[in-house]
Amino acid sequence: MIEPHHSATYYPDVVDELALAMRKFLDAGMTSTQAQASIQAYATIRAAEISANRESFQRSLDRHHEDFQGRMSRNDKRVR
């Protein structure tokens, strides 16, 4: 059986997705060990996708923050 991971708290939709995939693998005739190995590979791919999305989001957030700070600085100079 796949042990719950702490990230299950943060990504319940991914946990549901993995549970559904596990059920499909078992229904397709895979052994539990085969299904588990497939799920682990799938989970690794999803984790990489989530991490890449998070990093991309953070870079975007940082750019917007820098842009905002620049505009605020220019506005401060105009007011003076």
For 31-41, the pLDDT digits (tens) are 999 988 998 88
Identity of residue 11: Y
Q: What is the pTM of this model?
A: 0.53
Residue range 32-66, pLDDT digits in tens: 999 889 988 888 888 888 888 888 888 888 888 88
Interval 20-25 mean pLDDT: 90
Asked whether residue 8 is domain-assigned, the answer is no
Asked whether residue 60 is domain-assigned, the answer is yes
Cα–Cα distances (Å) from 3 to 19, 32, 71, in that order, read 12, 14, 48
Q: What's the domain count of the chain? A: 1
Burial class (CB in 10 A: 0-12, 13-18, 19+), 5: middle
Determine contact, residues 34/25, Cβ cutoff 8 Å.
Answer: yes
Asked whether residue 7 is domain-assigned, the answer is no
Q: Which domain holds residue 44?
A: 15-79
Asked whether residue 51 is domain-assigned, the answer is yes
pLDDT, residue 1, reads 47
